[in-house]
Amino acid sequence: MAGLMVGFGHYTHAIVRGIPASLAKEALRSSQSEVDVVNARREHEAYVEVLGTRLGLEVVELPADESLPDCVFVEDAAVVCGDTALITRPGAESRRRETEAMKGALKDLNLNIVEMTDENATLDGGDVLFTGREFFVGLSKRTNQRGAEILADAFKDYAVSTVPVLEGLHLKSFCSMGGPGLIVIGSSEPAQKALKIMQQMSDHRYDKLTVPDDLAANCIYMNLPNKGHVLLHPTAEEFPESVKVFEKLKDHMLIPVSNMEKVKVDGALTCCSVLINKKGNI
Amino acid sequence: MTTESGTDSEAKQPQENKETEKAKAAAEPTSPQNQPEQLPAAAGHSTPARTEQERQEEDLVSHRSSTSRLSRSPLRGVKKVKIMQCKVTLLDGSDFTLNVEKRAKGQVLFDKICDHLNLLERDYFGITCRDVENQKNWLDPSKELKKQIRTGPWNFAFNVKFYPPDPSQLTEDITRYYLCLQLRDDVVSGRLPCSFATHTVLGSYTVQSELGDYDPEELGSDYISELRFAPNQTKELEEKVMELHKTYKGMTPAEAEMHFLENAKKLSMYGVDLHHAKLVGSLYECLAPAEGEDSEGVEIMLGVCSSGLLIYRDRLRINRFAWPKILKISYKRNNFYIKIRPGEFEQFESTIGFKLPNHRAAKRLWKVCVEHHTFFRLVSPDAPPKKFLSLGSKFRYSGRTQAQTRRASSQIIRPAPLFERSSSKRYNMSRSLDGAPIMENHETLMKDSAADGAAKVIAKGDIITTVTTEKKAEEEKAEQEDAQMDAVEMPEPMATTPLRQDTKTDSEQTDFAFDGEMTATESDADEDSEMRTQTQDEKPAGEGTKEEVEPKVTEAAGYLVKYVVDSIATDLATSSGPHGISLSTTMDDDVFMDGTLREVDEKTPDSQEEVSERAEMKVSPGAVRQEVSQAISDKKGTLIILKEAEDKVDTEGKETSAADEEEAPVVPGEAEAGENEMLSKEKEYIKEDMSVVLEAKTTVVKTQSPTMEIKTDDMTQIKGSGSPKKAMASWISEGVKTDASEVIGVSTKQVKEMKTFDAMQQKAEIFTFVKEVQTEQSKSSLTQITVSESSSTSLSVSTLGWVSSSEKASAEPEERAVVATETEAAPVESTGPTSLDAVEVGTKEMPVVHTETKTITYESAEVDTNGDVDPGVLLSAQTITSETSSTTTTTHITKTVKGGISETRIEKRIVITGDTDIDHDQALAQAIKEAKEQHPDMSVTKVVVHKETEITPEDGED
């Protein structure tokens, strides 16, 4: 039976991208910190392995591009929902070309490609929270109203609500989905405020899982055959208090994934992959 | 009347009911007796219940059927049933033609359609019609159809009004089927946007439901392009649909529809009714603005749905207010306000304003909100006050709530009806789509059409005239009064525009009264007071405080004021400029309106303070009116009202103190008046109504702006105003007001078909008011009298014309007789205007008397003017005289039938007592012009001008 909006968290494919050496020095970052590319690459390998080997997703790995120091953060280059992929226009000018490889990969997966050609529009995938029932788009330094409008146009089935992002890089810098109807949210005031706005804007009810650290609130949820609820979350090493909270999720398969290096350039777990569900699609 | 056989639409109808349906389809279109109240619906009749005379007159009537009105009285045995043919576009795109009685309420039509559709779970559905702006409006089932149709043919559409959030909870498949049809139209028209994938899925279920299993042999390979699935349908889409269709083998239509709905209901715009608006003010905290952007004036869309109010900017949802979050909804003129419960981050309630394209749009939005809230949130429309959406206006959702309809439909015991799902016309490729994209609601904007209280009243006045005109040959004189009353009751525009909505029921009046300040509140405490307050202060916010301060006062004031306000456009304009404006705009053919307009023009520029002042003193604003009208509609005793009024006067007192004193005694007396007097009184009222119309004209011609000011201010001001003319003006206007107030009372009453008893009470009120006014006048008279005495001029304009099909001459002799009768009637009423004058005289000074005397003289002269006489059967004759110290207006209306042709003659005599400065020529021209405007169907055949100089020899006017 064909059905829409079913199977939130069902994924079959993941697109990832390698880490260029230029990441260490040239990648954008909000704080001054030294990044060890080797560590970062090791970290990323582990991440990809979880997706491919442990979770069984078909992983498409795009080669790193030295001229695109941030290219590992593929999430910002595309928003995929159902069989439609929106190729974004990243807010940071230096990252615009990241979309080219992404577009190719998505085309190869036979997705319907929608491109954001409007020069006034900017949108980073990191500002897009898809809950399974609707989109929230953070209006941030990287994403503007026009970008959100185009996203709304690309995914007409869903309500697209805008949420001001007053602090942090992206909307998903302090939240993500932890399950169907479950929003993982940081405990900072801006995060809580954003959650309130989202709750107000929504016709649906969401449970919330508040974690002490905003950054720990960025997790990857999947619902996979034979595995059920899966949650990739930061390690206890980084966020011990937050991990205690995750551990309360009894129904979830919890997979700690280290992100210590990438976080230095504002990379969170969701940033490093684009997840796609090809099976349920028409 | 041509009627369609109904086969067309029937084809789409459930097969199982075919026989019944056929019978109905065949019968209904032709069965005129769709008058629910009087005749039981006898299916199968053709052309039955029409009265004899009506048939006889059919020739004459037919073209004016839309324009003409039959006077009907519940009291009379003979009923004339006007049958209107309605064309209803059903959800499958077919047209269903049926006849209903013209006076039928929306419910009648709705029930007939539902019967035709074999639909039991009806509460989710409704009837829409397009207004002049091509906006869809929901018919109010509790109101008469004719009052809800502004212009044009009676074309409707049957639609889903409340989209059930969970269609699987509907009891019957047939209900889901119709919901599917609606949604398919929503999708194809673009109102319900969805992705390609969704188009495919929905389309595939549609195909399965309509065509059954995929069968290449039977269906062919191109079967799918016959159907419409999307606004921009592509071959690719069709192929995908077909692909899916193949996989559905064995799925029943009902199952397919269930799947369809399960998918459709998840769409974000499912069941969202969109309205264009703009933000008022900067509302950063409520909305998520784009960076560095001022939200003021931003174009947005307001979406009303089952869960609350959604706010969109372009396609983005920028805010959402769930019903529980909304404390109050209101609208005022073009603005729509919601008052929001304070959230976690806010300390105070906030009010958010939106600017709608026009007043009607604001009202429409408000109504839709009220209805959705009630339907989806409340257990029953009469839910306990806490939960109740209490409204300032009379309007509320009167149907069943979702909870109730679910309960009711759980009782449905019939076997699931079989029905045929044939491919709906609507979705055929060949058919042009009528749906528009999202914006549909407001394609045409900005016509400031407004229906307003004053307008209505005026219309009524107008109507009265008209009605008299159209009396039927059979009517007997004895019935005249009744007829007149009826006329009021069934106001029909005489103008060529047939089905306009101008004439409102009282309930509509109520609405209008509220205009500015309709409020829907969840917290009961504030509402009432707020509504009141709102009128006066434009700002929605901060009303709260005022509430408690002066509830009673306001109320009381309301009563007195109310009549004035409602009835007189001029007054309205004065008290609340904005209202007046919109009103006037709406009613194009009314003299009053014109007057209002002009006045407004002049007034609007005035400082707001002035306006508000007036509002407080004389006419406390709309809010008060609301209550009054509500009270009336609720049939509360008038006495109570009066009492309140007194209180009010006392409180406010300064100006009116004298008035109160008079008032109090008078009121009781009147209320006690015997029933016998009723008739005569009524008669008089009617007369007065007429005269009001006339007088209004006069006022317009001469005195518009000055009047306002004088009224507003105290007596002192009048004196100060120096110009005698001004003073006069005020006089006149006041007189007009008085009359007008009466009109309102009467008409309201009649519309409601209140009992005589009630009527009496109302009259009492009216009188009271009159007296009050007069008292005021007396005060001012000092200054004025002198003026008026100096010279008096009278204009008499007689309008003679014919209504579209009929033309005749009137019978003079009869008229005279009538006149005599009337004269008698007048004395009977101690409270009549005349008597008031007398009172005045007593209270005041001599000069007034003089003026009146002159008026009389003119009347007699007028009788002569009627000169051209044709013998015929006099159907009706009526003379209406109203006098104030400064003006006297006499209207003769005669209706005669001669050789099957009926003629209506209206003669209006306006006597203006005034000062030398009056430009008679201009006044005359104006009077003629307005007479024409008022009765576009008639022509002016005679104008007689008398000028008379009074005692003071100084005026050399001509």
Q: Which residues of A are annotated as a binding site for substrate?
A: 28, 70, 75-76, 95, 142, 265
Asked if residue A231 has pLDDT above 80, the reply is yes
Looking at residue B133, its pLDDT comes to 79
Cβ–Cβ of B314/A149 closer than 8 Å? yes
Which residues of A57-158 form beta strands (DSSP E)?
58-62, 78-81, 84-87, 112-115, 128-130, 134-139
- Select from A160, A231, A168 the least CA-distant residue to A198: A160
Looking at residue A187, its pLDDT comes to 94
Distance CA B162, CA A21 (A): 59
Q: Are B931 and B797 in contact (CB under 8 A)?
A: yes
Query: Can you state the percent helix, strand and coil of chain B, rounding each to 5?
Result: 50, 15, 35
Cβ–Cβ of A2/B204 closer than 8 Å? yes
Distance CA B498, CA A2 (A): 52
User: B208, B268, B312, B318: best mutation site toward chain A, by most A Cβ within 10 Å?
Assistant: B268
Distance CA A76, CA A257 (A): 20
Per-position b or e across B11-50, b if 16+ CB within 10 A of its CB:
bbbbebbbeebeebbbbbbbbbbbbbeebebeeebeeebb
Looking at residue B860, its pLDDT comes to 34
Q: What angle do CA B394, B399, B401 make, to 5 degrees?
A: 115
Looking at residue B906, its pLDDT comes to 65
Q: What does the DSSP 8-state code read for residue B810?
A: -
Tally of CA atoms within 13 A in the half-sphere of B641 that contains its CB: 32
Q: Would you place residue A163 in the very low, low, confident or very high pLDDT band (cuts 50, 70, 90)?
A: very high
% residues pLDDT > 70 (chain A): 97
Residues in chain A: 282
Looking at residue B135, its pLDDT comes to 84
Q: Does B267 touch chain A (CB under 8 A)?
A: yes
Distance CA B191, CA A272 (A): 37
Q: Does B326 touch chain A (CB under 8 A)?
A: no
B347 CB-near residues (< 8 Å, 6+ apart)? none
- Its ipTM equals 0.92
Looking at residue B394, its pLDDT comes to 57
Which CA distances in Å does B605 have to B612, B622, B639, B707, B815?
13, 20, 39, 16, 46
Q: Are A119 and A92 in contact (CB under 8 A)?
A: no
- Return the higher-pLDDT residue of A260 and B81: A260
Query: Terminus-to-terminus CA distance in chain B, angstroms?
Result: 55
Tally Cβ neighbours within 10 Å of residue B855: 25
Which CA distances in Å does B944 have to B870, B932, B947?
20, 16, 10
Q: Which positions in chain A have a beta carbon within 8 angstroms of at least one beta carbon in chain B?
A: 1-5, 82-84, 112, 133-134, 137, 139, 144-146, 148-149, 152-153, 155-164, 193, 196-197, 200-203, 281-282
Retrieve residue B328's tokens.
């109050």
Distance CA B719, CA B488 (A): 39
CA distance A185 to chain B (A): 17
Active site residues of A: 170, 271
CA distance A262 to chain B (A): 29
Mean pLDDT of chain A: 91
Q: Check the CA dihedral B253-B254-B259-B263 and report its sign.
A: positive
Residues of B whose CB is below 8 A from A145: 290-291, 293, 313, 316
Q: Alpha helices, DSSP H only, in A202-239?
A: none
Tally Cβ neighbours within 10 Å of residue B416: 12
Longest CA pairwise span in chain B (Å): 104
Beta bridge partners of B331: B336, B518
Distance CA B398, CA B374 (A): 9
Beta bridge partners of A192: none
B587 CB-near residues (< 8 Å, 6+ apart)? B455, B458, B459, B502, B593
| Tens digits of residue pLDDT in A97-148 | 999 999 999 999 999 999 999 999 999 999 999 999 999 999 999 999 999 9
A225 CB-near residues (< 8 Å, 6+ apart)? none
Distance CA A75, CA B166 (A): 35
Q: Residue ranges of chain B with pLDDT lower than 50?
A: 1-75, 284-292, 382-392, 425-870, 884-885, 950-958
Cβ–Cβ of B196/A84 closer than 8 Å? yes
Which CA distances in Å does A192 have to A140, A188, A242, A244, B370?
16, 6, 15, 19, 32
| Tens digits of residue pLDDT in A71-107 | 999 999 999 999 899 999 999 999 999 999 999 999 9
Stretch A9-15: mean pLDDT? 94
Cβ–Cβ of B259/A162 closer than 8 Å? no
Looking at residue B943, its pLDDT comes to 65
Asked if residue A8 has pLDDT above 50, the reply is yes
Rg of chain A on CA atoms, in Å:
17
Tally Cβ neighbours within 10 Å of residue B236: 10
Residues in chain B: 958
**Which H or E run contains B945?**
strand B938-948
Q: Are B304 and B272 in contact (CB under 8 A)?
A: yes
Q: Does B539 touch chain A (CB under 8 A)?
A: no
Tally of CA atoms within 13 A in the half-sphere of B354 that contains its CB: 30
Tally Cβ neighbours within 10 Å of residue B602: 16
Q: What is the dihedral of CA A147, A148, A152, A154, to 10 degrees?
A: 30
Looking at residue B908, its pLDDT comes to 65
Cβ–Cβ of A193/B345 closer than 8 Å? yes
Question: What is the DSSP code string of B663-724?
Answer: HHHHHHHHHH--HHHHHHHHHHHHHHHHHHHHHHHHHHHHHHHHHHHHHHS-HHHHHHH--H
Q: Are B283 and B352 in contact (CB under 8 A)?
A: yes
- Return the higher-pLDDT residue of A159 and B6: A159
Which CA distances in Å does B542 have to A41, B34, B337, B537, B546?
61, 50, 13, 9, 8
Distance CA B83, CA B127 (A): 19
- Select from B523, B538, B526, B628 the least CA-distant residue to B579: B538
CA distance A47 to chain B (A): 32
Beta bridge partners of B873: B897
Q: Are A129 and A172 in contact (CB under 8 A)?
A: yes
Q: Are B818 and B878 in contact (CB under 8 A)?
A: yes
Cβ–Cβ of B200/A152 closer than 8 Å? no
CA distance B379 to chain A (A): 20
Which residues of B759-821 form beta strands (DSSP E)?
792-801
Q: Check the CA dihedral A251-A257-A263-A269 and report its sign.
A: negative
Q: Are B105 and B142 in contact (CB under 8 A)?
A: yes
Stretch A168-185: mean pLDDT? 94
Q: Are B615 and B546 in contact (CB under 8 A)?
A: no
Looking at residue B948, its pLDDT comes to 57
